[in-house]
A and B are shown apart, each in its own frame.
Chain A
Amino acid sequence: MGHGEMTVEEVKKHVRKYYVVFGALLGLTIVTVAISYLHLPIFQAVLLAMAVASMKGGLVAAYFMHLMDEKKIIYSLLWLTVILFGFCMLIPLFTLHGPQTTY
């Protein structure tokens, strides 16, 4: 479905979805702040915080940025970016914290 030929009814349906997502985002914000007051051990805290952030980010990307329903070319571009971002983040981490065997 291209956004170009959307009817008023369809747009209204979208708008209702935006409000639902808005509610979910506010809820998740409260959740993530609440978790931080629990003072969990650092590993669990990082895991939970990033999981909630990813959910929020996913909602924004999927609904507000319309990635739920986008063209193939945009998906290809974003996959490429995600993979390269993964390299950029993980490889330096491995080189700094990976096995330090030297001969």
Chain B
Amino acid sequence: MSHDSHNHSHGHDHSHGGHELPFWRKYIFSTDHKVIGLQYGITAVFFLLFGFSLMLLMRWQLAFPKQAIPLIGKLFTEDGVLSPELYNQFGAMHGTIMVFLGVVPLAVGAFGNYLVPLQVGAHDMAFPKLNMMSYWVYFVGGIVMLLSFMTPTGAAASGWTSYPPLSVVNGPGEGFWGGLFTGQSMWLLGMVFLITSSLLGSVNTIVTAIQLRVKGLSFMRWPVLVWAQVTTAFLLLLAFPPLEAAGIMQLMDRVGGTSFFMPSGLVVSGEAWKASGGGNPILWQHLFWFLAHPEVYVLILPAVGIVGEIIAVNTKKPLYGYKTLVYSMLFLGFMSFIVWAHHMFMTGMGVTMSTFFQATTMIISVPSVIILTTYLLTLWGASIRYTVPMLFATAFLPMFAIGGLTGLPLGLTASDIHLHDTYYVIGHFHYVVAPGTLFALMAGVYHWYPKISGRFMSDTLGKIHFWLSVIAINGVFMPMFFMGMAGVSRRLYDQTVYAHGLAAQPLNVIMSVSAWILAIAQLPFLYNMATSWKWGKKAESNNPWGATTLEWAASSPPPHENFTTPVEVYRAPYEYSSNKKLLPQFVQEA
């Protein structure tokens, strides 16, 4: 869909490129960070929709247990009822796809790739070929994950956390190749690809942001999005490798018969497990959460950056406490490495260590609150322009706040004992990621669409999308808190078999209906995205929102090497000129 407008912009290329690149070099195996950013974006949106669809099917089973799914149920099972096996597979793959193939590639791969070079005034990423490789490795990882549905025993079914021993004994195959061609092994293999891809991407982002800054762009003049992306890149760089190591070991456990995570004397389905034993299942949890807690901040920090940019533009005011914001993000990033075991309070680690993790968890909430506060204080007294991106960005604030605050009872050992592994946890992190990060990413799409395509997305459709989404998404996740406090466990196939689950069942119907409405609410968004590319209202200038950062100095869409005339930075990203107007970084005051 991007072809037409790119052809228009390609007039600028000839001075550098010499000759027109063939189609497959320009749009498929491209080294242009903007094309790669769009590739990431389109692929990630596909995976988001796919992961969302899995949940929409599961929601039928949850709302109306053991009833056939209308119309399409027969595609999955003979009687049209979602089987427990499929339910488990869909649940595990929903989490995996949403986090690793959807949100992170969209937030980091798409927004990072497209915007970081532009915002620091670079012509491309520091290593363009590596950038291309990073996308294609991600793509292959995604394909491996999708193919895992085709294996004889189906896709991975041990939750997105893949805790052993369950994940090792679940759906084993015969021999080496049989063992490899199973859902869980493909999951592990896919993760190795995704980790490699994010390693390449994060090296690239950090080097680009640090080395390729234009004249005048000191670190404290970086836009918040650049800070957010660089912090995120560090988290990906240093937190992912332990999971890669753990993934390799679990793969060895599954196909090589080792016992890294398999304790001695394990009995599976009445038979002694055939392996040497002597391993430690808790070790997986440590290595997994060593990644997966920083991963939470990988999900949220780019969103924080996007929201910061949009709030600054639409309040037409400098961001309140820019430096505080930056230091908070850095502190948040660092602290995220030493809170992970609050996911493991129930593993019997002893009071000393759980007190340590309880303390660090409480500490990490401080910078998060500071970030929210700086944004709220920016809104204070501003004459806010409610564009569609601004609607999403302002909605992000209370949604993220709910997500964050509901996390506190989970970080305290006493209350966590009751809430652990209930729907409360699901409600908590979905508030952070769905109406939090995803709303911010949608805001980002609406906000930068005129830069990427040269045209605006429709305002009316955008408002319909926003209001329907914001109501429906709260309908999905708010009841989860009540259900969790009622004691309903998270991965239940049919909670009505328990008395306390049956009592809470009406909430499930509300959640499911809200989820389906939420799905319908995304249709205007997708339609809007597709049609505005050609028929949207034209953006007259390069800087239609009156933004202050460097990407708005380039033409829309930016040509192959971004800036046709040399750019320079004269001031911090969100600063007034002498006549109290927000002045772009790249404009010299007369």
> Is there any pair of Cβ atoms, one from A and one from B, under 8 angstroms apart in the complex?
yes
Residues of B within 8 A of A95 (CB): 282, 286, 341, 344, 347, 349-350, 353
Query: How far, in Å, is B392 (CB) from chain A's closest CB?
Result: 34
Distance of A3 Cα from B283 Cα, bound (Å): 43
Residues of B within 8 A of A4 (CB): none
A101 pairs with B351, CB closer than 8 A: yes
Within 8 A of B (CB), among A65-103: 73, 80-81, 84, 87-88, 91-92, 94-96, 98-103
Chain A interface, DSSP helix/strand/loop, else mixed: helix
Query: How far, in Å, is A91 (CB) from chain B's closest CB?
Result: 7
Distance of A94 Cα from B344 Cα, bound (Å): 14
Residues of A within 8 A of B341 (CB): 91, 95
B352 pairs with A92, CB closer than 8 A: no
B350 pairs with A99, CB closer than 8 A: yes
Query: How far, in Å, is A22 (CB) from chain B's closest CB?
Result: 30
Which of B210, B338, B352 has a CB less than 8 Å from the CB of A98? B352
Distance of A37 Cα from B351 Cα, bound (Å): 42
Residues of B within 8 A of A96 (CB): 280, 282, 349
Residues of A within 8 A of B351 (CB): 99, 101-103
Asked if B166 is an interface residue, CB under 8 A from chain A, the answer is: no
B282 pairs with A73, CB closer than 8 A: no
Name the residue in A81, A91, A100, A103 with the highest tally of chain B Cβ atoms < 10 Å from its Cβ.
A91
Distance of A84 Cα from B282 Cα, bound (Å): 20
Query: How far, in Å, is B355 (CB) from chain A's closest CB?
Result: 10
Name the residue in B280, B286, B344 with the highest tally of chain A Cβ atoms < 10 Å from its Cβ.
B286
Query: How far, in Å, is B154 (CB) from chain A's closest CB?
Result: 32
Residues of B within 8 A of A98 (CB): 349-350, 352-353
Which of B283, B344, B350 has a CB less than 8 Å from the CB of A101? B350
Distance of A54 Cα from B338 Cα, bound (Å): 25
A100 pairs with B350, CB closer than 8 A: yes
B350 pairs with A92, CB closer than 8 A: no
Known contacts A87-B337, A87-B338: A81-B238 contact under CB 8 Å: yes
Which of B210, B238, B286 has a CB less than 8 Å from the CB of A92? B286
B353 pairs with A88, CB closer than 8 A: no
Within 8 A of B (CB), among A4-42: none
Asked if B487 is an interface residue, CB under 8 A from chain A, the answer is: no
Distance of A100 Cα from B353 Cα, bound (Å): 9
Query: How far, in Å, is A25 (CB) from chain B's closest CB?
Result: 27
Distance of A80 Cα from B239 Cα, bound (Å): 12
Distance of A91 Cα from B350 Cα, bound (Å): 13
Query: How far, in Å, is B301 (CB) from chain A's closest CB?
Result: 16
- A and B contact pairs by CB, cutoff 8 A, 21 listed: A84-B238, A87-B337, A87-B338, A88-B242, A91-B286, A91-B341, A91-B353, A94-B353, A95-B282, A95-B341, A95-B344, A95-B347, A95-B350, A95-B353, A96-B280, A98-B352, A98-B353, A99-B350, A99-B351, A101-B350, A101-B351
* Chain B interfacial positions (CB closer than 8 Å to A): 210, 234, 238-239, 242, 280, 282-283, 286, 290, 337-338, 341, 344, 347-353
Contacts A95-B282, A98-B350 supplied; 13 other A-B pairs, CB < 8 Å: A80-B234, A80-B238, A84-B337, A87-B337, A88-B242, A88-B290, A91-B286, A91-B353, A92-B286, A95-B286, A95-B347, A100-B348, A101-B352
**Top 4 nearest A-B pairs by Cβ distance?**
A95-B349, A92-B286, A100-B350, A95-B353
